[in-house]
Chains A and B, each alone.
Chain A
Amino acid sequence: MKEPPNQRKRQTADSLSEIMNIDRLVHSPARLSILTYLFVVEEGDAVYLLNHTGLTWGNLSANVTRLQEAGYIEVVKEFKDKKPHTVLKLTDRGRHAFHEYQNTMKGLLNTKSLSSVSGGE
């Protein structure tokens, strides 16, 4: 059975209003990149993140601090061969936040919502 046009418009508006609830801490490209590369491993050091995210030391440090303050990542500073070594790990909270973000974005960007906005369906 075909949905009435008003109901469809309301559903689209509801799904798009979710964008206002999106986790902005995760949404930033630099932090999203950091979280993505920490999500696919158990833990990684700063050099690993620098290589894969393409961020500078300063930028990485600033964004890591924000994610650490939010409790999304755990930072362990240690010495390895008498050199400072920073190990980063996604916390359960961070993993959950990243997962939530993924689901929200998936919902927002799915073809049905977009095509109904553009009147394609």
Chain B
Amino acid sequence: MNTSDQKQIERRVFTSFFQAGFIEAFTGIFLLQLGLPALFSRSGFGDLESALLALPIALILLVVVFIVRRFVVIPRLGHVKFLPERRRRLSKLVLVPVLTLIAGVVVGYIFSENTSLRYTFVGQIPFSLMPIIVFSAAAYFLDMKRLYVYGVIVGLTFPLGKYLETIIVSRNALPAIILFTAFVFLGMAIVFLVASLRKYQEPEV
């Protein structure tokens, strides 16, 4: 067993703690929070009303995710304290929300300067770049390659929705495609969770 084998083992152990579908669940909830208000606002509700209508759904889902993680998944996976090198890398994960914030400010600035840009196909590019940057940063710090793919999928959702809006001339195409992607991620989360529960049985003490 050489050092690279040990690194492989350590990586396998680390990633096993992220195989229960929580990343997928959070991505799905995040997309729901984008898709539902967009759908409500296009159905005649105001911006604030739409956001308030969508919020309880996300909160309920988040509570469910935390309960499942705390009481079902963690007791089956066990507790581990990783080596300092891994913990240092994990602590850099804080860069992800910072990047999100910076990207959000940049996008906000661009749209405040040019409001009509929001409704164009080109205007969706910052929305695409944001998830790609954020997911790529998470993929790097968590050492999980599948997050790069998630970034591309989430990133493509916005221009695809806008494109569909222009070709099928429906105002609901963008929220519909965002919600479809959200449900795909939530479905993936359930599949990952079931697979994890089947793999790691509750220990009999």
A residues at B contact (CB < 8 Å): 36-37, 39-52, 57, 83-85, 87, 102, 105-106
Q: A45, B10: Cβ atoms under 8 Å?
A: no
Residues of B within 8 A of A57 (CB): 203-205
- Chain A facing B: main interface SS: helix
Q: A39, B82: Cβ atoms under 8 Å?
A: no
Q: B84, A47: Cβ atoms under 8 Å?
A: no
Given contact pairs A42-B84, A47-B203, A50-B203, A37 touches B78 in the complex (Cβ within 8 A): no
B residues at A contact (CB < 8 Å): 1-2, 6, 9-10, 13, 16, 75-84, 200, 203-205
Given contact pairs A50-B203, A102-B1, A37 touches B79 in the complex (Cβ within 8 A): no
Who on chain A is nearest to B13 by CB?
A40
Who on chain A is nearest to B11 by CB?
A40
Please pick, from A43, A49, A83, A102, the residue contacting B81 in the complex, using a CB distance under 8 A: A43
Residues of A within 8 A of B80 (CB): 41, 43-45, 48
Please pick, from A39, A47, A52, the residue contacting B79 in the complex, using a CB distance under 8 A: A47
Residues of A within 8 A of B78 (CB): 44-51
Q: A44, B75: Cβ atoms under 8 Å?
A: no
Q: Closest approach, in angstroms, between the C-beta of B57 and any C-beta of chain A?
A: 30
Residues of B within 8 A of A46 (CB): 78, 203
Who on chain B is nearest to A32 by CB?
B1
Who on chain B is nearest to A80 by CB?
B79
Q: Known contacts A47-B76, A47-B203; can you find 4 more A-B pairs with CB under 8 A?
A: A36-B6, A41-B80, A42-B84, A106-B2
